[in-house]
């Protein structure tokens, strides 16, 4: 996976929830802080995990409508 990801309005709303936790929230809050498109490899580095785990997190967020792949 070598793509660029952006927050959807729903993802932005979730990121603004200061009570979030876990890997999903870590991705959403990081993307919210960046304020623009984020490359997948940046997320892997930020999460300090491997590409497979990061890909599972990102796909889950895409499926629930919080993140969109460009």
Q: Is residue 4's pLDDT more than 90?
A: yes
What pTM was estimated for this model as a whole? 0.89
Which domain does 59 fall in, by range? 4-69
Look up residue 38 and give its DSSP letter. E
Tokens of residue 3, six digits? 């793509």
Count of structural domains within the chain: 1
**Do the beta carbons of residue 58 and residue 51 sit within 8 Å?**
no
For the chain, the straight-line distance linking the first and the last C-alpha, in angstroms and rounded, comes to 12
Q: What does the pLDDT read at residue 1?
A: 58
Condensed to tens digits (0 to 9), the pLDDT of residues 13-70 reads 999 987 778 999 999 999 999 999 999 999 999 999 999 999 999 999 999 999 999 8
**Do the beta carbons of residue 43 and residue 30 sit within 8 Å?**
yes
């Amino acid at each position: 996976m070598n793509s660029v990801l952006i927050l959807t309005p729903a993802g932005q709303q979730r990121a603004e929830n200061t009570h979030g936790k876990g890997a999903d929230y870590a991705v959403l809050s990081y993307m919210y802080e960046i304020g623009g498109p984020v490359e997948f490899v940046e997320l892997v580095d930020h999460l300090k995990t491997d590409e497979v785990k990061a890909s599972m997190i990102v796909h889950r967020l895409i499926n629930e409508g919080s993140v969109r792949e460009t």
